């Protein structure tokens, strides 16, 4: 019995150490002063950027939801989904109560985009729907290197779903008649493969927790929770900031 406990301890400790080493060198950017647009790759026109910021201010006032657009120069050899998830958590996008944030992450050098969705908006923006938004409203413009238009169309399409979810009208036409539109998509579908992956991850977490609390009184779990702190909600010096929301792990991404 004692040998088995030691063996399990070594396995779980190895997993913990490998996790810590893997993420210790990641340098994630701080949000911009305006928070809602971080354009390190310099892809977005000023007019579109201002529209995104002003629309978000109305959205946050009405719903506590936030739709942040970020462009980065490179992914530093990370998978874009992992990068988006970490950045989402660091910036604490959306409300801490409703977890209703969205992050549109664009890496032009790798020609990849990922849209990360908070738990509270996964019903309004399931993975399949997010993928269709990318395919129909973003990628065609990105392929032509018209990044501002692709960002604008994707941003507006996401807002359409959020308006429908909360039964609100953000008055985007009052913010900018040139940049608002009347796109409305009713069909909602789920990506079965992504759901299956989430189930496997959930099973793995349950097994890990069972072993840890059964044999080690939760020591490894508490160690992980204590070490995984990426600074969410620490941007108090900014005019706007995240509301403390967390990512749901859902979303979709593409290359172009």
pLDDT digits (tens, 9 = 90+) for 157-176: 999 999 999 999 999 988 88
Q: How many domains does the chain have?
A: 1
228 lies in some domain:
no
Tell me how far apart the alpha carbons of residues 108 and 95 are, in angstroms, rounded to a whole number.
29
Averaged over successive runs of 10 residues, the pLDDT of the chain (256 residues) comes to 60 54 66 96 96 97 97 91 96 95 97 96 96 97 96 97 96 80 40 61 87 84 62 43 87 95
Q: Residue 162: how many CB atoms within 10 A of its CB?
A: 20
Q: Residue 187: how many CB atoms within 10 A of its CB?
A: 7
42 lies in some domain:
yes
234 lies in some domain:
no
128 lies in some domain:
yes
For residue 112, the domain's CATH number is: 3.10.310.50
What is the predicted pLDDT for the residue at 143?
Answer: 97
What is the predicted pLDDT for the residue at 214?
Answer: 86
210 lies in some domain:
no
Tell me how far apart the alpha carbons of residues 138 and 256 are, in angstroms, rounded to a whole number.
10
Tell me how far apart the alpha carbons of residues 101 and 119 are, in angstroms, rounded to a whole number.
8
Distance set, CA 47 to CA 31, 51, 117, 130, 173 (Å): 19, 6, 25, 25, 14
Tell me how far apart the alpha carbons of residues 12 and 5 are, in angstroms, rounded to a whole number.
11
Tell me how far apart the alpha carbons of residues 247 and 230 are, in angstroms, rounded to a whole number.
13
18 lies in some domain:
no
Range of the domain at 170: 32-191
Tell me how far apart the alpha carbons of residues 221 and 225 are, in angstroms, rounded to a whole number.
6
């Amino acid at each position: 019995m004692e040998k088995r406990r030691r063996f399990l301890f070594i396995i779980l400790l190895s997993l913990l150490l490998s996790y810590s080493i893997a993420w210790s060198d990641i340098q994630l950017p701080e949000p911009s002063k305006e928070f809602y647009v971080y354009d390190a790759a310099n892809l977005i026109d000023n007019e579109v950027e201002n529209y995104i910021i002003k629309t978000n201010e109305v959205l946050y006032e009405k719903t506590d939801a936030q739709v942040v657009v970020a462009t980065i120069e490179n992914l530093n050899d990370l998978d874009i989904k992992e990068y988006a998830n970490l950045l989402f958590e660091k910036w604490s996008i959306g409300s801490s109560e409703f977890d209703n944030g969205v992050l549109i992450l664009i890496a032009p050098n790798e020609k990849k985009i990922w849209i990360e969705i908070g738990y509270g908006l996964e019903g309004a923006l399931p993975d399949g729907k997010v993928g269709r938004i990318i395919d129909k409203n973003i990628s065609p413009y990105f392929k032509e290197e018209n990044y501002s238009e692709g960002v604008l169309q994707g941003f507006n399409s996401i807002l359409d779903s959020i308006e429908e979810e909360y039964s609100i009208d953000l008055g985007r036409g009052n913010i900018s008649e040139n940049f608002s539109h009347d796109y409305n998509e009713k069909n909602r579908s789920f990506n079965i493969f992504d759901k299956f992956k989430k189930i496997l991850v959930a099973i793995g977490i349950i097994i890990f927790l069972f072993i840890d609390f059964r044999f080690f009184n939760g020591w490894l779990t508490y160690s992980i929770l204590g070490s995984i702190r990426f600074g969410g909600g620490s941007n108090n010096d900014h005019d706007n900031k995240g509301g403390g929301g967390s990512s749901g792990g859902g979303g979709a991404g593409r290359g172009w």
